[in-house]
Structure 1
Amino acid sequence: MTTSQGYFIRPAQMSDLDGLYTLSILTGTGFTSLQPDRDFLTRMLVKSTAAFRDPDPMGSQSFLLIMEALETGQVVGCASVKTGVGDDSFMCADFELIGREGLPVSSEEDFISLRMARTLTGLTEVGSLFLHPEHRASGAGRFLARSRYMLMATRPDVFCHPIVAQLRGVCDSEGNSPFYDAVWAERLGASYDRTDRLLARHGAGYLLDGFEGLDVSLGDLQPQARETIGQPHPTSAGALRLLMQEGFSPSTLIDLSDGGPIVMAETAQLTCMQAALPVEATASGLSGTEDTAMLVMPEFPDFCAYVGPVSAPSTDLVACPELFLNTLRERDFQADNLLLSTSSALTFRSANKHTAAGTQLHA
């Protein structure tokens, strides 16, 4: 299912609880940051609304974005940005990949063991990226992911640290993780699903208390477990590709519980921030030949974005559905100070010139 009028991305509200819960049911085991639990999601929404209301450059906060179908208002996706990761009581821990010299190495290099350590302290984390399966064919997932980086550009004082993304590792349809079974099942006496839920609610502090510094030799792991190290869950493979295309690189870490990949980037490396164009939007009927793109209102806390069909009459003017412009008007926003973000070269058509989008703009 797709929507011909496109999608609207905005900060989450408490009224999104029902829609977010319906979405969370679809995530499956191992999606740590979007648990199908109303209390968990309520706390998530409370934290996000507080963060947008009162951002703290020195604090640990969580900013949740919601994607809804413009025509129906249905919540179809979400994505988040967390600042000051691990600086509060919600500790982060992962496994470092250790090379033959006893030092951390990238997942692209040879490593012989894993070492558990408290990690990622103070970084900015992007996560909770999920799009309803019926809307994935629209290509909206790329822009939902990208909206987090465009949000970060509105407040560089708040989102000023290196960025990290942790992706769900390999597990089967019944919630069994080869990596978890090999490393943790006997040590913890708990299932992967239960441990995953505990980590989502309480952080890794309770594991650090008993296992910080734990070394796991690759030789002690079964081949099935070794093969999943640094590999994403099949449903996360697309998200990993998008991250790498945006400028993320492999790190020396893997996820603590399921061995999933962890990638990192500096804000200045992100390609979407370098290629956004300032434009004005005008209403236009849809011919069915338009490119899919994202129009961003780069304001904080009033950040919002449109994802859907766009045409470009000139280098500083884009045409989009009237429904999006009406949504802006309802929020007392103007359509003359937007940023255009595309997935490929979008051709601007005018009487005398054809220009591809891609002018440098450090938002």
Structure 2
Amino acid sequence: MMVIRPVARSDRNAITELATQTGVGFTSLQNDESQLNDRIERMCRTWAQQAPLAEQGYLFVLEDSETGKVVGISGIEAAIGLNEPWYNYRVGTLVHASKALDVYTQMPTLFLSNDHTGYSELCTLFLDPAYRHGKNGHLLSKSRLLFIATFQDRFADKLIAEMRGVSDQHGHSPFWESLGRHFFAIDFAHADYLTGTGQKSFIAELMPKHPLYVDFLSDEARAVIAQVHPSTVPARKILESEGMRYEGYVDIFDAGPTLEAYVDDLRVVRKSQARIVKVTQTEISGPIHCLIGNESFTDYRAITGTPQVTESHVLLTSMQAQALRVTDGDSVRLAPLFAQENFS
């Protein structure tokens, strides 16, 4: 069984191994042991309720309960941009017009922005390629939304997710080559590494503050604005199925799109419901796939399954109850795993 749980200090080696597989452009999971250790410690302080809001973050791991192997990771930042500026580009329009010359042109532009300051962020979604099948990706991504639904007071009213932009296997980013390289004599891979180790604001402060005309960029750069890396397409589709949308903001380095939504508008949040656990020795399957999470903040667990759900109870097998660390009479929160499914 695949189980979502909070990160632990003992997961350092497993997460380091996952970080070696991400490639250039996966900013929030760098192959840097010191940075990973610091982040895990910050997450542990959050769960111990010892971190101020500006430092609060959550990392979850996906564990194969049969082998104990950690095969995926996903995260949430509670409030971005409170310690240092959070930068992205807002894609806008400037109009140039002259009645005397009978000229009217609309020019797409990029404005350096801090508009998402204070929002919560979905981040650090990565699944071992060997486990990219079945419902593993859905569990890894959507369990964060169920956690937010369960502990909504710990998060902002609005949520964003920065999607990885287009770059090739050699770390070449068309957007960076056409824009960022003019201001920094470094490769995109180095800029990405600096960003992942907490130096994004330093780099962004050296970027031009005035609007940039998109038409001045290369054809290749213009073509990738708001496009995602091929390996990120499934993650984008999952978040869009939950109600997140591109609203005109892109990353300042690779132009990957930022998806956003009000938390109350997210499908999992709207459709999630609490039920009382009844443990059964025989599995009684229901008609829909469910995302199921316990209601323990410090010992959170989430799984998928097809349990029988009544108006007041959910029937779980002893194995499911053990995975969720619940017993008869405990309360859990569950939601349909897929958008096309609903509780009757």
Same fold (TM over 0.5): yes
1:358–1:291 Cα change, 3 Å:
closer
- Report the equivalent of 1:147: 143
Q: How far is the alpha carbon of 1:327 from its aligned partner? A: 3.7
- Report the equivalent of 2:167: 171
Q: Is the contact made by 1:150 and 1:298 (CA closer than 8 Å) also made in structure 2?
A: no
Amino acid at match of 2:35: F
Matching residue within 262, 266, 269 for 2:262: 266
**Inter-partner Cα distance in structure 1 for 2:12 and 2:235:** 24
- Report the equivalent of 2:12: 17
Q: Is the contact made by 1:70 and 1:323 (CA closer than 8 Å) also made in structure 2?
A: no
- Report the equivalent of 1:351: none
- Cα deviation 1:180-217 (Å, max 9, x = unaligned): 11111232010111000101112422123322514321
Percent sequence identity over aligned pairs = 24
The reply on whether 1:196 has 2:192 as its aligned counterpart is: yes
Matching residue within 93, 99, 103 for 1:99: 93
**Inter-partner Cα distance in structure 2 for 1:171 and 1:320:** 44
Give the TM-score taking structure 1 as reference length: 0.84
Q: Is the contact made by 1:184 and 1:257 (CA closer than 8 Å) also made in structure 2?
A: yes
Amino acid at match of 1:302: D
Matching residue within 292, 295, 302 for 1:295: 292
Q: CA RMSD in A?
A: 2.6
Which deviates the most, 131-140 or 337-346? 337-346
- Cα deviation 1:256-304 (Å, max 9, x = unaligned): 1000000111111011112123332535567999864321102322321
Aligned length: 334
The reply on whether 1:358 has 2:336 as its aligned counterpart is: no
1:245–1:55 Cα change, 3 Å:
farther
Unaligned runs of 5+ in 2: 97-105
The reply on whether 1:75 has 2:70 as its aligned counterpart is: yes
- Report the equivalent of 2:103: none
Give the TM-score taking structure 2 as reference length: 0.88
1:172–1:157 Cα change, 3 Å:
same
Q: How far is the alpha carbon of 1:314 from its aligned partner? A: 4.5
- Report the equivalent of 1:122: 118
Q: Is the contact made by 1:56 and 1:158 (CA closer than 8 Å) also made in structure 2?
A: no
1:207–1:37 Cα change, 3 Å:
closer
- Report the equivalent of 2:219: 223
1:244-323 matches, cutoff 5 A: 244-279=240-275, 280-283=277-280, 292-307=289-304, 309-312=305-308, 314-320=310-316, 322-323=318-319
**Inter-partner Cα distance in structure 1 for 2:194 and 2:290:** 38
Q: How far is the alpha carbon of 1:69 from its aligned partner? A: 0.8
The reply on whether 1:183 has 2:168 as its aligned counterpart is: no
Q: Is the contact made by 2:2 and 2:65 (CA closer than 8 Å) also made in structure 1?
A: yes
Amino acid at match of 2:274: P
Amino acid at match of 1:340: L
The reply on whether 1:338 has 2:335 as its aligned counterpart is: no
- Report the equivalent of 1:29: 24
Which deviates the most, 316-325 or 283-292? 283-292
- Report the equivalent of 2:102: none
Tell me the SS of whatever aligns to 2:25: coil
